[in-house]
Amino acid sequence: MSVFFKLIISFSYLFIFSNFSFADNKQFDGKVIISISSKKDVIKVKRSMCEVKFSILNSSFGTINDLSIAVNAENDRGRKLKNWGVPEVTNKTKWNPIPIPKGKMLENLKGATFEEECQYMGKIELAFSKIKENSCNIRMMPEGIKCRDLFVLVNEGEDAGAKLAKQASNTGPKFLDVGYVTINGKKVSFIDYAAEDPYNLRGKNIVIVGYMNSFYEWPRHKVWGYRFDIKMFSGVEGQSYARGGDPYLTVLIAPFKSKNYGSDLTGTLANLRKEAFKTLSSARMGKALIEVKGKANTFSNTGDLYIQAENIRIIAKE
């Protein structure tokens, strides 16, 4: 390698690394703060697009050796944007990754080009569902820490501390977390629930949090309206997509015959069915972590366990 080329590389390191005032803030310990450093209109295939560059502040556990985190974007009207090339936050250059020591910031890294003019760009977010355990190579990471839990992306005008505080207050389950069941408020695993005697569970309040692949809609009844059958699965620890597997728990999405739905029964059930269909459609193929609240019961002909609910709730999507 020539002396001239070595000098160029050394100059690059001095230019793109900087100390950052947040680095000594204990609030950011264990996190990698990603911020948008610039947006520039560019022309690709004779179309105006927006090139976005990022800065990476390493307040995690040790040197970041390799990083590749996918990002999504939407315009100012909330429409998801297509991208040109691979949209990601990375410390890679054309040749090799640039290690980022703890407490240092790597600035103005080319990351993503979206098919929209910069003036119409909206929020940019990390694609958490695509973050795998090999998406980040960071020294000194403690056991049990997931790669996807380290990153915080702040858009222009956002306060990193406020965003972290908001994330910390959200203690509920996230997409790709392993599902679970609660029986009258007691939390158990899918397999523990499935192992219970079905007849002992009848009438108990059940909440299932998990994933589904597909659903089946029965022919609609002229009086009692809709019925959807789904089977839910929990997924597995460390999954990078919602992975199916035994046991599957049977759920019926249908109105309760004992409930008073008011004078306009037909209209009420039609609306409930419509909402259930839309929610199920957007959650199928493991695209969402869902929650179902209902009561346990058994089929009269087989004795198999199921729960019935009017609808499902999407907790988090990919």
Evaluate whether residue 122 is within a structural domain. Answer: yes
Instruction: Identify the domain boundary among 167, 197, 221.
Output: 167
Cβ-count burial 44-57 (b if 16+ within 10 Å, e if not): eeeeebbbbbbbbb
- Looking at residue 67, its pLDDT comes to 85
pLDDT at residue 189 tops 90: yes
**Do 187 and 151 fall within a single domain?**
no
**How far, in Å, CA of 201 to CA of 218, rounded?**
26
* Domain, as residue range, for 94: 16-167
**Do 113 and 200 fall within a single domain?**
no
**Do 110 and 217 fall within a single domain?**
no
Residues 280 and 253 sit within 8 Å (Cβ to Cβ): yes
Give the residues across from 125 on adjacent strands: 72
Instruction: Identify the domain boundary among 167, 198, 225.
Output: 167
Mean pLDDT of 126-149: 78
Lowest-confidence region among 131-145, 179-193, 207-221: 131-145
Phi, psi of 60 (to 5 degrees): -85, -140
**Do 157 and 215 fall within a single domain?**
no
Evaluate whether residue 4 is within a structural domain. Answer: no
Max distance between CA atoms of the chain, in angstroms, equals 86
Evaluate whether residue 8 is within a structural domain. Answer: no
**Do 197 and 295 fall within a single domain?**
yes
pLDDT, tens digit, 9 for 90 and up, residues 43-96: 988 889 999 999 889 888 889 888 888 888 998 888 899 988 888 888 887 778
Evaluate whether residue 198 is within a structural domain. Answer: yes
Phi, psi of 30 (to 5 degrees): 80, 10
Q: What is the CA radius of gyration of the chain?
A: 25
**Do 202 and 291 fall within a single domain?**
yes
**Do 216 and 147 fall within a single domain?**
no
**Do 237 and 209 fall within a single domain?**
yes
The model's confidence at residue 188, banded by pLDDT at 50, 70 and 90, is very high
- Looking at residue 239, its pLDDT comes to 80
- Looking at residue 214, its pLDDT comes to 94
- How far the first Cα of the chain sits from its last, in Å, is 45
Residues 135 and 69 sit within 8 Å (Cβ to Cβ): yes
Q: Work out the mean pLDDT of the chain and round it to a whole number.
A: 84
pLDDT at residue 137 tops 90: no
DSSP, residue by residue, 109-166: EEEEEESS-GGGEEEEEE-GGG--GGGEEETTPPTT--GGGSEEEE-TT--HHHHHHH
What's the CATH number where 228 sits? 2.40.50.140
Mean pLDDT of 86-108: 85
**Do 119 and 256 fall within a single domain?**
no
Evaluate whether residue 175 is within a structural domain. Answer: no
Residue for token pair 């996230």: 174
**Do 81 and 141 fall within a single domain?**
yes
Evaluate whether residue 129 is within a structural domain. Answer: yes
**Do 124 and 186 fall within a single domain?**
no
The model's confidence at residue 170, banded by pLDDT at 50, 70 and 90, is low
Instruction: Identify the domain boundary among 103, 134, 167.
Output: 167
**Do 302 and 188 fall within a single domain?**
yes
Give the chain's domain count.
Answer: 2
Evaluate whether residue 7 is within a structural domain. Answer: no
Evaluate whether residue 2 is within a structural domain. Answer: no
- Locate the DSSP E strands across the chain: 17-19, 31-44, 47-59, 64-75, 88-90, 104-114, 121-126, 136-138, 151-154, 180-183, 186-188, 205-217, 228-233, 249-253, 288-298, 305-309, 313-317
The model's confidence at residue 10, banded by pLDDT at 50, 70 and 90, is very low
